[in-house]
């Protein structure tokens, strides 16, 4: 069961990272502790029994195979004692990227600001605030792996824990399930894929409309909503990103690089590169060359 009005959106990369985890068994009469401003995200997955827990003005009755994500800056409390033996798994995690909780299925942070900070177009994880798990057996297996890794050497435990945690996030991310995907996101991602596969050619509005079977104005609205840029702006940014890679990894002349990434006019390419990157292509290349 998916509660579409309550979602947590986390931008990545960099991806949210694992901190610690545990499995707790409550006897009848036990209660979850109350906490204020814990400072980390708290994912709680009930494996058996029933847990009664609240956050601010919301309260949940979590049965087996149900989960909730408690936020780092809220008040969490027990609504009532457990009435039966209850077992739940918990994970504390954190993120350095922007995040928000919203009832708006289109909630996104500033894609341009994310790019300036992390040099990559963001992907927004969409995690339900509370829902019944889609793959409980897989998530239980990952929970066991996370707990088992506590006995490993620190140097290996770091990687095994982060990998297991990210696999768990992927199973919780409703963007992985087409039936939960917002139409605007689906169109924007298809547009992005088409641009990346065809950026060296003449990508036009009519070509996009023909490929995606939508009017270009609708495609543009979807791209602005999801990525914060129009298709043409995304194309320009992607071409310049590919040019940066070629400047650093080849000794090709500027004109050849410009032509390779889709620019027919070298001076125009140089002007676009300078305006976006802040330095001309030749100077960008030189600043990374050894003396």
pLDDT value, residue 2: 43
Query: pTM to 2 decimals?
Result: 0.73
Average pLDDT over the chain, rounded to an integer: 90
Fold of 183-286: Arc Repressor Mutant, subunit A (1.10.10)
For residues 173 and 7, give the distance between their C-alpha atoms in angstroms, rounded to a whole number: 10
Segments making up each domain of the chain, as ranges: 7-178, 183-286
Fold of 7-178: Jelly Rolls (2.60.120)
Tracing tokens 């827990």 back to the chain, one arrives at: 53
pLDDT value, residue 105: 62
CA dihedral 142, 144, 148, 149 (to 10 degrees): 20
Instruction: State pLDDT tens for residues 242-286.
Output: 999 999 999 999 999 999 999 999 999 999 999 998 999 999 999
Query: What is the side-by-side order of every strand in the sheet holding 58-62?
Result: 35-36, 75-78, 51-55, 58-62
């Amino acid at each position: 069961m998916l509660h579409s009005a309550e979602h947590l959106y986390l931008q990545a990369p960099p991806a949210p990272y694992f901190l610690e985890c545990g499995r707790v068994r409550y006897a009848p009469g036990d209660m979850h502790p109350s906490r204020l401003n814990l400072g980390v995200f708290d994912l709680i997955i009930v494996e058996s029994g029933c847990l009664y827990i609240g956050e601010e003005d919301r309260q949940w009755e979590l049965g087996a195979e149900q989960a909730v994500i408690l936020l780092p800056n809220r008040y969490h409390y027990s609504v009532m004692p457990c009435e039966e033996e209850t077992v739940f798994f918990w994970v504390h995690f954190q993120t350095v990227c922007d995040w928000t909780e919203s009832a708006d299925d289109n909630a996104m942070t500033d894609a341009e600001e994310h790019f300036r900070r992390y040099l990559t177009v963001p992907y927004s994880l969409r995690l339900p605030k509370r829902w019944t798990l889609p793959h409980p057996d897989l998530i239980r297996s990952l929970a066991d792996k996370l707990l088992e890794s506590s006995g490993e050497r620190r140097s290996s435990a770091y990687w095994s824990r982060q990998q297991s945690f990210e696999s768990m996030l992927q199973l919780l991310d409703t963007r992985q399930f087409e039936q939960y995907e917002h139409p605007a996101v689906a169109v924007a991602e298809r547009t992005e894929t088409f641009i990346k596969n065809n950026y060296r050619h003449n990508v036009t509005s009519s070509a996009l409309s023909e490929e995606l079977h939508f009017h270009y104005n609708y495609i543009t609205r979807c791209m602005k909503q999801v990525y914060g840029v129009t298709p043409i702006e995304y194309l320009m940014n992607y071409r310049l990103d590919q040019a940066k890679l070629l400047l650093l990894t080849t000794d090709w002349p500027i004109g050849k690089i410009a032509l390779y990434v889709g620019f027919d006019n070298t001076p125009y390419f140089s002007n676009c590169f300078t305006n976006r990157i802040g330095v001309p292509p030749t100077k960008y290349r030189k600043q990374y060359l050894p003396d």
